[in-house]
Structure 1
Amino acid sequence: MTTARALPPTLLTHRRTAYRPRTAEGDGDLLASKFSGRPWLKADEAWPTCPNCNKPQQLFVQLNLATLPQPEQQRVGKSGLLQLFYCTSSDPLCEVECQAFFPFARSVMARRIDDPTGPTNLNASGPAEPFAPRRIESWEPIEDDVPGYEELYQMGHEISPEEEQALEEAERPATGDKLGGWPAWVQGVEYPNCPQCDAQMEVVLQIDSEDNLPYMFGDMGAGHLTCCPNHPDVLTFAWACY
């Protein structure tokens, strides 16, 4: 369990528990939570491809909702899968051409699979150079995850110099790959809005550069998989860097 260094009570009013993925080398089964590896696909479904270059996308992450900590199940769902595919092609450079750092980019696919049962496609052809898979074996709580000073300011909290210093010393909000909690924004608060209802989307998973994925978002940036609180099937991914 990871706990922040002592934070002022004024900041702890906003605390949440985040969860650090504990991973091991190697792929799990088709329904496992994992970074990279082989995703669950319907029997008649090909490996998702990028519409810009027509190459298979990397599976960045698959989350089996039934294996998430209970508080996160209450928030994002108790069953099914979340999958995030991302094009890492360098010729053409789809990340730039499709502006994959913005939400709802063409070269990125984030989706929910409500009922991953029945026959599956075990022979779908993935990327030519797939990332080494890491299966998620457990989730370690990160207690007292609190917003950064910019988000606190947007929430109407006039943060003091002492509070800002406390956030820095406690390394909050927590960086690195994590489920839930508060986002460690890189270039300011950037929640996307749902294209169906315009509601502010909620962060499901933070993915940092060179943590469980051997990938760097720009110059050591971080990305966030988000979901609409009103439309569970609306998911997207975006990132920012220094």
Structure 2
Amino acid sequence: MSRTLVIGDIHGGLKALIQVMERANVTPNDTLIFLGDYVDGWSESPQVLDFLIQLKTSNTCVFLRGNHDELLLDWFINHSENIDEGMWFMHGGEATVLAYRNVSESQKQLHIAFLKSLQDFYLDEKNRLFIHAGFTNMNGIQHEYFPKLFYWDRTLWETALSLDESITKDNPKYPKRLTLYDEIYIGHTPVTRIGKTVPIQKACVWNIDTGAAFKGPLTIMDIDTKEFWQSDFLNDLYLNEKGRN
């Protein structure tokens, strides 16, 4: 039986990715939707990209663009970042730069091609939106003026998180953005910020970033049944590393 599985932010944690795929018993029949942020944090960002490149030869995969993936691509191409280098290093970039010291130029070129191929969003036939961070335009993704917000925005999640649950969709105060899609799957803002380590649904938004960059697990979820599987906490898998902590 085929499933559609969504995977949260990985942040260089190859051990967690392998572990969670084994626990979910992923097979070539499964479609895999990755929400982005494959790199920055733990020490195996290059190996994560190698794994994903190989994975798409056996599975139908959708790879979305995360802000950290964009930062790495910018570093590869321009030898700079969209933000101050010190800031990027503090948020996981240092581990990535160090890891790439041992990667050949030919392999780097494969990774650059992969990063360039990432999608900003994916909308399926059931009106379910998959996006790394969010969008700001009240009329939806096709009308977004600033595409970088697809992988930088936090207001979509903040809106869903703060929404008064007593307000119904037909109320004029109900946020229009939360009426456009039947379900929205995001990463980017870890649910550990609200003291959780499992996927959280608010309104139509499912947040699958369970804090793998920090002291949380990596999560994979069946979007039809909502069953999910998790790795060990990343700080237990990488005992001598700090990740993004």
TM superposition score normalised by structure 2? 0.29
Return the structure number with greater strand share. 1
Return the structure number with greater helix share. 2
